Amino acid sequence: MWFANFLVSASATMVLPFLSLYINTFGHHSNGFTEKWSGYVFGITFLMAFLVSPFWGRFGDQYGYKKILLITGSGIGTCILLMSVVSSVYDLFFLRMVMGLVTGFIPTSLAMISAQTPKKLAGKVLGTLQTGTVSGGLFGPLFGGLLADHVGFTYTFFITAFMIYGSVFLVFLGVHERPLKSKQTQSVTYSRKQVLQAIFNRKSLLTMMILTAVIQIGNFSIQPLLALYVAELHGTQHLAFFSGLAFSVTGLGSLLSARKWGHWGDRFGHGKILIILSLLATVFFIPQGLASSYQVLIIFRFLFGIALGGMIPCITASIRIQAPVAIQGEVLGYNVSFRFFGNVIGPVLGGVISSHFGISTTFYSTAFLFFIGAFLLFIQRFQEKKAKNEN
């Protein structure tokens, strides 16, 4: 699953650097058309994934996660393959929308590995799995850009699609899913209403999902603005390279730290580790807005990546421990919906704040969001301890 996630993550991000350039090949457009539709084409995938993620989780609980991995992987690969032959931005938009409907491979892999792993090792194992996703996200844009420059957009889509098909083949041959439900739990079924009631009745589960949205809003609020900020600090010479470096160094920090944070979460408690990570993210984000040089920005982007690397594994492991086995996939599906919700809201929020108050203010606002996340976790843990003492 590590290799499959690496291939899917790399492939899914390979096409992102040149989507706007690809739209330009469809003909001459009025001013602002490419910028507007680049945003639409980019965002529609996250929006559709936000809507359907719980359904993929529910199907995984009922029919097995491996089947969902094969379906979603094949769907993503086919959508990207068809993108090579579209002739208009509207066709591309439609395929990106369909791709959002089947964007459940990596979240489903997390749910499957989480369910197959002993609770005491969940954080460490999920942290290890996360390094595959992060590694793919690091190398994907770089590899995609190089391919587009050397073989053109069409063949880049071909290569990307067949990399994803390769990951599906890996899962088909190499993943053997153990049945999780005993005869007793197989007779117990949960309606969608009961699953939602279980989430809202357990405040700790809801807190984890809110924190997931906060992480993604904070992370994505600055991403569309980072190239502009790098231009302010470093100038426009080799801007694409230095902007890409500012993106990738965060992923590098996450790659180096994810497994260790997951291990510490297993050992000391995922809630405690998440409070520490949220506070570290707050501390490491503020200096980015105050940076007087590109080098300072890079240092604190890397440190922020170290904090960010442990958040998703610890949240997933915490949900794994708290959610009943029979509905873990669906609960994790709702958590993924919160994640994609953050992906949609983050860029919009960052754009609005920066347009009114400047890019630096977006960094401060993002830091405040992470502080709110730490505060919510602290309040939730305080209430749990109080209720435990009263009992």
What are the DSSP calls for 79-116, one per residue? Answer: HHHHHTT--SHHHHHHHHHHHHHT--HHHHHHHHHHHH
Tell me the C-alpha distance between 105 and 140, whole Å: 16
Q: How far apart are CA 293 and CA 242, in angstroms?
A: 13
Q: How confident is the model at residue 81, as a pLDDT?
A: 92
Residue 366 in contact with residue 223, Cβ under 8 Å?
no
Predicted pLDDT of residue 31? 63
If DSSP codes are grouped into helix, strand and coil, which group holds residue 12? helix
DSSP result, 208-261 = HHHHHHHHHHHHHHHGGGHHHHHHHHH-STTHHHHHHHHHHHHHHHHHHHHHHH
First to last CA, the chain: 43
State the CATH architecture for 190-391. Up-down Bundle (1.20)
Please report the sign of the dihedral spanned by the C-alpha atoms of residue 339, residue 340, residue 346, residue 347.
Answer: positive
User: Does 190-391 match 1-175 at the fold level?
Assistant: yes
Instruction: Tell me the angle at which helices 270-290 and 311-322 cross, rounded to the nearest 10 degrees.
Output: 150
What's the CATH superfamily of 1-175?
A: MFS general substrate transporter like domains (1.20.1250.20)
Q: From CA 90, how far away is CA 84, in angstroms rounded? A: 14
- Write the DSSP assignment of 138-165 as a string of letters: HHHHHHHHHHHHHHHHHHHHHHHHHHHH
CA–CA separation, 256 and 45 (whole Å): 28
Residues 178-188 as b/e (b if ≥16 CB within 10 A, e otherwise) read eebeeeeeeee
What residue segments make up the domains of the chain, in order of their start? 1-175, 190-391
Does the pTM exceed 0.85? no
d(C-alpha 66, C-alpha 20), whole Å: 34
SS3 content of the chain, % helix, strand, coil (to 5): 85, 0, 15
Alpha carbons 177 and 154: distance in angstroms, whole number:
36
Tokens of 90: 């509207």
pLDDT tens-digit profile, the chain (391 residues): 888 888 888 877 777 666 767 777 887 766 667 767 776 787 788 888 888 877 877 787 777 888 888 998 999 999 999 998 888 888 989 998 999 888 778 778 877 887 778 777 777 787 788 778 777 877 777 777 677 778 888 888 888 899 899 999 999 998 887 765 544 444 456 676 777 777 777 778 888 888 888 888 888 787 767 767 888 888 777 666 677 677 778 878 888 888 888 888 888 888 889 999 999 999 999 999 888 888 999 999 999 989 988 888 888 888 878 777 777 777 877 887 888 888 788 877 887 788 788 888 888 988 999 999 899 888 888 887 777 777 6
**Crossing angle, helix 122-174 and helix 2-14, to 10 degrees?**
80
Q: Token pair for residue 363?
A: 């960094």
Tell me how far apart the alpha carbons of residues 133 and 112 are, in angstroms, rounded to a whole number: 15
Task: Copy the structure tokens of residue 11.
Answer: 């492939």
Q: Name the amino acid, one letter, at 59.
A: F
What number of other Cβ atoms are within 10 A of residue 32's Cβ?
8
Q: What are the CB-based long-range contacts (under 8 Å, 24+) for 22-29?
A: 22/92, 22/153, 23/89, 23/92, 25/153, 26/87, 26/88, 26/89, 26/92
pLDDT for residue 370:
92
